[in-house]
């Protein structure tokens, strides 16, 4: 268990470092305004990608061992094409974006969603190495492409970098699907049954994702409206740094999700989730304290003079971000059991609170108001998840016992010793 989790953690750390490199690059070279523009582009792509993944999406992790891959892939591809075309026409008629910007957002989201379909199927079969390779390829190639652009042409085109990264990730994911495609699988179920399950589970899963993403990032658009792109740039960096502690929870929940999706004993999955949550909360607390104790001058040195207020925002973000670690791990318990509606309900509560407080505070407090709104939203979401987890018979505890820590350190030494001999 811990070997897989540590492996996932290593990939997430590398991914976080690469994304940090991109944050520093854009912050130093383009200032707060340029960083704000980049953050808004990524948010737009991420929101549309969620709708591209409305049928199936991450629910494919749960469905991959229960339905034919042929049916799951066919339904996913059809949906991505339909929703991409519909989104393009709708947003064009509403004149939300310029035509050029809209085209790139739709194309990039479609590439991202297709790659995610393949990755989810592989994760459902516990092909963690291939899944991690697909995942790390995006930040790695984005970073390398941006660096190459700057050193060779003295310019940054983020859209080009994303095309290189997303297209490469798609190719890798196709290779993975071909390599691990179940040779003995047939359709097994009717198209109607496949579509029904994919849409039902995928809808609630993606509803949870879209409401969660909006609760995280809707304040960007409100902040931009009242305070401009520079404020978005500063706030997005504060959010990125503070939220980086979630890589601990995502490393844990990645393995947890795959295991629970294939498990039959609910009592075991509850005990496993409780244990993983305790370790996740402790590690996240250590990480967030570390970031908060760094002097403000450190962040100015790293990101540039435009980001002097960054750390003060982190103090308001940190409590909610840390608490949300609990929701991330426990939320994957519900996902692993196909109960995506719980996560959707929790995220919905967080979204309503985030929007309400953002509209109330941002006009007066700017980025500080956005930080307060985000933190309270994370707290509300976590409380809803906790409520349903306790209803399933779980117990509440935040940190591991001394015996559990001793056992972890022993296992870590064994893993390191074994690795040194390999």
> Which residues are CB-neighbours of 403 under 8 A, at least 6 positions away?
none
Residue 302's domain comprises 2-421
Q: What is the pLDDT of residue 190?
A: 65
DSSP string, 79-96: HHHHHHHHHHHHHHHHT-
Q: What is the pLDDT of residue 166?
A: 92
As a whole number of angstroms, the distance between CA 38 and CA 44 comes to 10
Q: What is the pLDDT of residue 152?
A: 86
Look at the chain and report how many structural domains it folds into. Answer: 1
87 pLDDT higher than 80: yes
As a whole number of angstroms, the distance between CA 220 and CA 214 comes to 9
Q: How confident is the model at residue 167 (pLDDT cuts 50, 70, 90)?
A: very high
HSE, side-chain direction, 13 A CA sphere, residue 147: 12
> Which residue in 220, 225, 231, 236 sits closest to 44, CA to CA?
220
* pLDDT tens sequence across 7-18: 555 666 677 677
CB 212 within 8 A of CB 381: yes
As a whole number of angstroms, the distance between CA 280 and CA 327 comes to 11
Q: What is the pTM of this model?
A: 0.67
* pLDDT tens sequence across 184-230: 554 456 667 776 777 766 677 667 777 777 777 778 888 888 888 88
Residue 399 backbone dihedrals phi, psi, to 5 degrees: -130, 150
- Average pLDDT along the chain: 81
Q: What is the pLDDT of residue 56?
A: 62
CB 381 within 8 A of CB 215: yes
- Token pair listed for 207: 């509803």
As a whole number of angstroms, the distance between CA 157 and CA 388 comes to 45
161-170, 189-198, 241-250, 359-368: least confident range: 189-198
User: If you compute the radius of gyration of the chain from its CA atoms, what whole number of angstroms results?
Assistant: 21
DSSP string, 152-181: HHS---HHHHHHHHHHHHHHHHHHHHHHH-
295 pLDDT higher than 50: yes
> Which residue in 304, 302, 311 sits closest to 238, CA to CA?
311
DSSP string, 220-246: HHHHHHHH-HHHHHHHHHHHHHHHTTH
- Going from the C-alpha of 414 to that of each of 30, 294, 405, 420, the distances in angstroms are 46, 33, 14, 10
As a whole number of angstroms, the distance between CA 113 and CA 129 comes to 20
Q: What is the pLDDT of residue 225?
A: 85
* pLDDT tens sequence across 375-404: 999 999 999 999 999 998 888 888 877 787
As a whole number of angstroms, the distance between CA 367 and CA 23 comes to 18
Q: Please give the angle made by the CA atoms of 170, 98 and 111, to the nearest 5 degrees.
A: 5
Q: What is the pLDDT of residue 421?
A: 45
């Amino acid at each position: 268990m811990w070997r897989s989790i540590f492996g996932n953690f290593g990939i997430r750390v590398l991914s976080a470092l690469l994304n940090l490199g991109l944050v520093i690059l854009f912050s130093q070279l383009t200032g707060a305004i340029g960083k704000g523009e980049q953050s808004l582009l990524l948010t737009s792509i991420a929101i549309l990608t969620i709708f591209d993944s409305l049928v199936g999406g991450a629910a494919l992790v749960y469905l991959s061992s229960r339905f034919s891959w042929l049916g799951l892939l066919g339904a996913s591809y059809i949906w991505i094409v339909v929703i991409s075309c519909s989104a393009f026409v709708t947003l064009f008629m509403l004149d939300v974006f310029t035509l050029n910007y809209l085209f790139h957002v739709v194309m990039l989201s479609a590439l991202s969603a297709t790659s995610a379909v393949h990755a989810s199927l592989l994760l459902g079969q516990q092909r963690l190495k291939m899944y991690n390779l697909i995942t790390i390829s995006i930040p790695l190639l984005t970073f390398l492409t941006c660096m190459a652009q700057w050193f060779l042409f003295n310019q940054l085109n983020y859209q080009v970098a994303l095309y290189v990264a997303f297209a490469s990730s798609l190719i890798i994911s196709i290779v993975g699907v071909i390599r691990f495609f179940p040779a003995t699988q047939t359709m097994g179920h009717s198209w109607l049954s496949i579509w029904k399950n994919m849409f039902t589970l995928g809808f609630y899963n993606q509803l949870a994702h879209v409401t969660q993403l909006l609760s995280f990032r809707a304040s960007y658009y409100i902040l931009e409206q009242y305070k401009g792109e520079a404020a978005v740039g500063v706030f997005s960096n504060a959010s990125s740094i503070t939220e980086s502690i979630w890589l601990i929870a995502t490393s844990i929940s990645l393995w947890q999700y795959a295991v629970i999706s294939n498990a039959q004993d609910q009592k075991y999955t509850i005990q496993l989730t409780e244990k993983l949550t305790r370790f996740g909360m402790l590690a996240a607390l250590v990480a967030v304290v570390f970031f908060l104790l760094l002097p403000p001058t450190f962040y100015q040195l790293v990101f540039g003079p435009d980001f002097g207020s960054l750390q003060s925002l982190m103090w308001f973000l940190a409590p909610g971000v840390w608490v949300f670690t609990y929701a991330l791990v426990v939320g994957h318990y519900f996902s692993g059991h196909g109960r995506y509606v719980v996560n959707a309900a929790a995220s919905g509560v967080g979204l309503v609170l985030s929007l309400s407080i953002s509209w109330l505070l941002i006009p007066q407090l700017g980025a500080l108001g956005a930080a307060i709104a985000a933190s309270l939203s994370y707290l509300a979401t976590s409380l809803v998840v906790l409520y349903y987890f306790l209803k399933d018979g779980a117990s509440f505890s935040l940190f591991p016992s001394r015996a559990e820590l001793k056992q972890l350190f022993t296992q870590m030494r064994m893993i390191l010793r074994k690795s040194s001999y390999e």
